[in-house]
Chains A and B, each alone.
Chain A
Amino acid sequence: MAKMSLRDRFWNRFTGKDTDMTPVGCTTTYGVIALMKKCGHERPAADTDPVAMTELALAGPSYAGFEWVKAMGWDITALSDAMGCTLGTPKIDLQYFIKAHPYAESIDGLEFPKDFLQRGRFPAYKEHFRLLKEKVGDTMIIFGESEGAFTCAANLVGTEQFMKWCMKEPQKVEKVLEVTKEAAVAAANFAFDNGADYYVFAEPTSGPALLSPRIYKKFVLPVEKEIFKRVKGPVVLHICANTDPIIELMCETGAAGISIEEKADMKRAVEIAHQSGVKVFGNVSTAVTIFQGKPDAVYEESRQALNNGTDFLCPGCGIAPNSPLENLLQLKKARDDHFNA
C-alpha cells in the first residue's frame, strides 16, 4: 500500500479502514524535558501559556517522531482545577497536582458552574487550540485530554473518602458524579468545538489498582456510557495499572479506543476490544523502560506491542519528564522496522 498521510494513517486505523502501517505516537501526556529543551519552551510556562503549550505540543511530532499531536497541556487536572481544587505548583519536571479537595468537608453547594469554560486553564486552552490548529492544519490528528468524571470526583472530595463512599454512601458518590459528568461533557465538547479530532479521558482513580470491577461496573460504567454518548466526537479511555479485569467493561463504555499500560495483557485486550470495534493504544512501559531503560529495551518492548497487535503504538501512560529523547525515538524506529518502512 502506498505511504499514507499521517492524518489518514491515524484516522483510517481509528475508524477501522485499511492503513499502510500502525500509527506511532502518544495518547497521554508528553511533557518531557528533552522536548522542552529542543523547542525552547519549558514548563511551567508551557502549562498555562498558549504559545509555549503549542510549541511543546508540536515538539512531539518534530523531535520524537509522534504522528499526531496533543492539546490541553501536560497534566490531568483541568476539570478539577476549574471545579475549585487547589493545585500544587508545577516545575519543569513536575506536573500540576491536586493539593486540596474543596468538598472534603461537605458536598453541600457542589454544583456544575455555569461559567465552567471560563475557569481555570480553559481560556488559555482556547487560544492554544487556535494556534495549534493554525500550525497543524489538516496534516495531523489533534486530541484533547483531561481527567475523567470519576477521577475528578475523587479529587473534589478526597480519594480515600470517595473510596469509602463507594462502599457505604453510594448516594453521595452519585451526587458528585452527577456534577463531574457535566464537567467532563463540557470539557470534551469544548475540545471538539475548538478543533480536537478525538478526546482522551484519563481515569487513573477508577482502575483496578484501586477499585474492584464490581464497583467500576456499578459507578463508573454508567457515567462513562452517558458521557461518551453525549460528547460530540470519539473518546479514548485511558486507565493505568493492570486493567486486565476490566477490559471488557472499558470496551462497554462506548469508547472508540482504550489506552492501556504494559501491566495489562495487550494481546488479550486487542482480542476483546476488536470484538466490538474498539481500538487499543499502548503499551510501552513509561515508569520503567522509557524512563529508566536502555534504548534497546524500549525498542524491544515496542516490537512486542506491535507483535501483540496494538492498533496504535504508544507509551502505556504519561511519559516521565526526565525520560531520554533517544528512548522516545525507539517507538518510531521499531514501528518503521516492523513495517519495513
Chain B
Amino acid sequence: MGNSEIRERLLKELNEGVVEYDEERVKKAALEVLDKGLNVYDAVMNGLAAGMEKVGELYDQQEYFVPELLMCADALYAGLDILKPHIRLEDLGDKPKGQVVIGTVQGDVHDIGKNIIKMMFEVAGFTVHDLGRDVPLEKFVEEQLRTDAEIVALSAMMTTTMMGMKKVVEMIKERNPNVAIMLGGAPVTRDTADLFGADGYAESAGNAVQEAIKMIGRLREMQNR
C-alpha cells in the first residue's frame, strides 16, 4: 500500500471514528499516523476536523443531539491528545492562527454550549483561552488584554445573566474596539447581539457549530491551496 493510500485510509478512520464516536478507533488511527510518519496537521484537519464538520451537519439536520455531540467530542479529543503534540510549526506555515477568549458570564453555570463552541474553535486551529463558567465580567477584559485575542465569545443561558454580556461588550470595546465579540446562548437573539454592540451571534449550538465549521472550512481551503 502506497503512502497516499495509507493516508486516505487513516483519514477515513479518523473521520468516521469521530462521527461514530468511537474513541478506540480514533486513537488507533492517530497512533498509526505517527507510526507511519504522516503529516500530523493533515490528519488533524482532514481527518478529525473533517469528521467534526460532518457531526455539525448531522446536528444541524437533527440527526444528532447534544449527547451524541459530547460523545463525538470525546472521540475528537482522544485523537487530538495524541496528534497535537506532534504538529510541527512548519506544517502550520502562514495559516491563520487566531486566539479566542471564551466563557459563560457571571451568575451562569450552564457551559455545555460553551464547551461545544470551544471545541469547534480548537478544531479550527484557534488557540482557545477558556475562562470556564460563572466568569466575573472584568475577567473577560483582563484576559483579552493579556492574550491580545482577536475574538471574545460569551455565553449565557438566562435572561438575567445575558445582561452581563452587554457590560462586557462595552468594557472591551472601550479598551480595544478591534476585538470581535460573539454572543450565544438560549435567550440571545441577533437583535440582542446588535443591541449589545456585539459583532457576531450564534442562534443556537447548531448555528454556532456551523459558524465554527465555516472557519474550519476556510482554514482547510487555505491549507489546500
Contacts and interface: CB of A to CB of B under 8 A. Distances in A.
A273 B33 CA distance: 54
Across chains A and B, which 5 residue pairs bring their CB atoms closest together, nearest first?
Answer: A320-B159, A287-B187, A212-B65, A163-B67, A210-B66
A292 B65 contact: no
B186 A288 contact: no
Interface of B: 21, 62, 64-68, 70-71, 74, 107-112, 115, 134, 158-163, 186-187, 189, 191-192, 195, 204-205
Interface stretch (A4-12, A94-102, A112-120): A94-102
B186 A209 contact: yes
B70 A160 contact: yes
20 contacts: A88-B109, A93-B160, A97-B109, A99-B109, A167-B67, A167-B68, A208-B65, A209-B66, A210-B67, A210-B112, A211-B65, A211-B67, A212-B68, A241-B186, A245-B62, A287-B159, A287-B186, A288-B187, A288-B189, A322-B160
Given A97-B107, A160-B112, A286 B68 contact: no
Contacts of B159: 286-287, 291, 320-322
Nearest to B64: A212
Given A245-B62, A288-B189, A166 B67 contact: yes
B67 A215 contact: yes
A159 B107 CA distance: 17
B109 A98 contact: yes
Report which residue of B67, B110, B191, B195 has the largest number of chain A beta carbons within 10 angstroms of its beta carbon. B67
A215 B65 contact: yes
B163 A322 contact: yes
Contacts of B187: 287-288, 291, 320
Interface residues of A, number: 31
Report which residue of A95, A164, A322 has the largest number of chain B beta carbons within 10 angstroms of its beta carbon. A164
Interface in A272-323: 286-288, 291-292, 320-322
A98 B111 CA distance: 12
A240 interface: yes
Contacts, number: 82
Given A163-B70, A167-B70, 13 more contacts: A94-B107, A95-B160, A163-B67, A164-B74, A168-B71, A208-B65, A210-B112, A211-B66, A215-B65, A215-B67, A291-B187, A320-B159, A322-B160
Contact of A320 (B109, B112, B160): B160
Contacts of B195: 292
Nearest to B106: A94
Given A215-B65, A287-B159, A321-B160, A163 B112 contact: yes
A17 B107 CA distance: 44
Interface of A: 88, 93-95, 97-99, 159-160, 163-164, 166-168, 208-212, 215, 240-241, 245, 286-288, 291-292, 320-322
A128 B202 CA distance: 41
Nearest to B206: A209
A288 to B, nearest CB: 6
Contacts of B21: 167
A176 to B, nearest CB: 15
B108 to A, nearest CB: 8
Report which residue of B111, B158, B205 has the largest number of chain A beta carbons within 10 angstroms of its beta carbon. B158
A212 B67 contact: yes
Nearest to B71: A167
B107 A88 contact: yes
Contacts of B70: 160, 163-164, 167
A292 B165 CA distance: 15
B65 A210 contact: yes
B109 A240 contact: no
A240 B186 contact: yes
Contacts of A160: 70, 111-112, 115
B9 to A, nearest CB: 27
B71 A164 contact: yes
Contacts of B111: 160
Nearest to B187: A287
Contacts of A215: 65, 67
A202 to B, nearest CB: 14
B157 to A, nearest CB: 9
Contacts of A212: 62, 64-65, 67-68
Nearest to A242: B204
Contacts of B71: 164, 167-168
